[in-house]
Structure formats: C-alpha cells, structure tokens
Amino acid sequence: MDLFLTLCLILIVPLTIAQPSPGYWPSSKFKTIDFNQGYRTLWGPQHQKLEQNSLTIWLDRNSGSGFKSNSAFRSGYFGAAMKLHPGYTAGVITSFYLSNNEEHPGNHDEVDIEFLGTTPGKPYTLQTNVYVRGSGDGQRLIGREVKFNLWFDPTANYHYYAILWSPNDIIFFVDDIPIRRYRRKIDSTFPIRPMWVYGSIWDASSWATEDGKYKADYSYQPFIGRYNSFKLSGCTENAPASCRPVSGSPYPSGGLSTQQNIAMQWAQKYQVYDYCKDYKRDHSQTPECYAN
C-alpha cells in the first residue's frame, strides 16, 4: 500500500529540478555603486524616483523614462537588480543594455537585456540581443535575438541581470547563471566600439508583445520598473591601453568554467527562440551562425 501511494504521488506531483549552482558568482566580485556615481537621467525625469539607491522609473500615456551611464566603456561587467511590473504589461519594454546609438545613429552597436511586456497568465519573455553596426544590409536593423521564459516570476522579487562584455565574449547572466554566450567568431559580427550603459521603460506596442498583437493599454498605467544594486566595472573609453578586461568566471582570461557551462545548459532549457535556428531568417547577414 505504501508503495502504491508513493507511485501515485510521483505521477501526480511534478518533479522539480533545482536551480544549479554556477560555482562562481560574478555579482559578488564587483562593487555596488550609488546610482548618481555612475548614471544620470537621460529622459523622462518626471517619471523617475531615487530612494536609498533604488531607482523607480515608470511609463504612462505621457512619457516613459531612461537613464545612461556617465562614461562610455570598451569592455566591462554591467549589472543591476530589477523587479518588473505585474499584470497587463503588453507593449511595454523594461530594459538594461549597452549602446552607442547616440554616437552612431543608424550604424550603432547594442547589447540588450529587454523584458517584453505580456498579458495576464502568460510569462514575461526576456530577450537578449546583439546589434553590430546597426543596419547589417544597409536597409534594416539586423538583430541577433535569443529569448527566454525564465524559471521564476520576475515580478515577484528582485533578480540580478548582468552583461559581461570582453574583447572575445558577451555573456548574459541571470542571478549569476550564464544564460547566453555570444562569441567573437568573426570580427565583423562583434561590437568593438565603446558603448554606454542604459536602462529604460518605454512603449514598443508595434512589436513587443507577440509581434505587436497586444498593445499597451493605459487603463493599467503607470507601468513601473524598479532597479537597484548597480554595478559598473570595466575599462572606460579613455582608460589606458594597459586596462585589462574584467572576467565573469574564475579564469582571469575570461570564458566560462565547466560548472558555469553546465548551469548555462540548464538555463537554456528555458530558451524559446534562437535567431540562428529561425529558418525564416536570412542568415547571410548573420554568418556567425555557421562559424565554428
């Protein structure tokens, strides 16, 4: 009888797989800075509030809001804890990213962590993206999107999101677990020009939620993004040539450890889109998809 009950419980109760340890926690290796030490308001100042180094930004029908690092970097580790708005958020983007769009409009580099708004009952999608010199074919932006539905509710608590950008890798982290590694396989497909660090919340109704099927509904306003635990460490644009890129692994030379790679393989079970596996894409513009 006991065996029968045990078998029933196994069938009824789904097995849960514990989040693996990455064995190394980059967020603990870099100093947390005051927001005003590293950043400034870029737009929508009336839609920002800073209290005890926690920044709240929001979007309503009048405006969104954004912030920008005081310095440009040529490599580094950039992170923040974020908590997202619950409920109906279709069309709303909450982001943390690197870019040089203001310096190179139409021909810019960008590395994105973007939360695509959603509708109740459906998960938030975390989109990671890389742009290299903007318009890859001279006519349209060529993105390198990889999307995830995470293993937790990003509206319930703060979670830590970070980008490690080195001369050879871009690694995206969620709670210190690497979820994506974008390697420098071909020089022309890797960003090398200095970039600033940004965060923002804005209306992207034309594409953000199920390719624009669901739009921002301002009867649910304001839409709020919360940030704290800012980390900003690396080689600034004007740092001497002797400045060494920081690492996101136990190895000073960078890359990932064996345990980090195992954790990344686990996280990639939550991947829901990979541009290299999209047969509808013109991969002549993304040759790194075929490079070893």
Give a three-class secondary structure readout of the chain: CHHHHHHHHHHHCCCCCCCCCCCCCHHHCCCEECHHHHEEEEECHHHEEEECCEEEEEECCCCCEEEEECCCEEEEEEEEEEECCCCCCCCEEEEEEEECCCCCCCCCCEEEEEEECCCCCCCCEEEEEEECCCCCCCCCCCCCCEEECCCCCCCCCCEEEEEEECCCEEEEEECCEEEEEEECCCHHHCCCCCEEEEEEEEECCCCCCCCCCCCCCHHHCCEEEEEEEEEEEEEECCCCCCCCCCCCCCCCCCCCCHHHHHHHHHHHHHEEEEHHHCCCCCHHHCHHHCCC
Mean pLDDT over the full length of the chain = 92
Read off the pLDDT band of 12 (50, 70, 90). Answer: very low
- Specify the pLDDT at position 169: 96
* Residues recognised as catalytic: 110, 114
Is the pLDDT reported for residue 19 higher than 60?
A: yes
| Structure confidence by residue, pLDDT tens digits, 137-169 | 455 678 999 999 999 999 999 999 999 999 999
| Structure confidence by residue, pLDDT tens digits, 184-239 | 999 999 999 999 999 999 999 999 999 999 999 999 999 999 999 999 999 999 99
Q: Does domain 32-283 have CATH number 2.40.160.10?
A: no
Least confident of 65-69, 85-89, 131-135, 287-291: 131-135
Read off the pLDDT band of 129 (50, 70, 90). Answer: very high
Is the pLDDT reported for residue 92 higher than 50?
A: yes
Mean pLDDT for the stretch of residues 66-91: 98
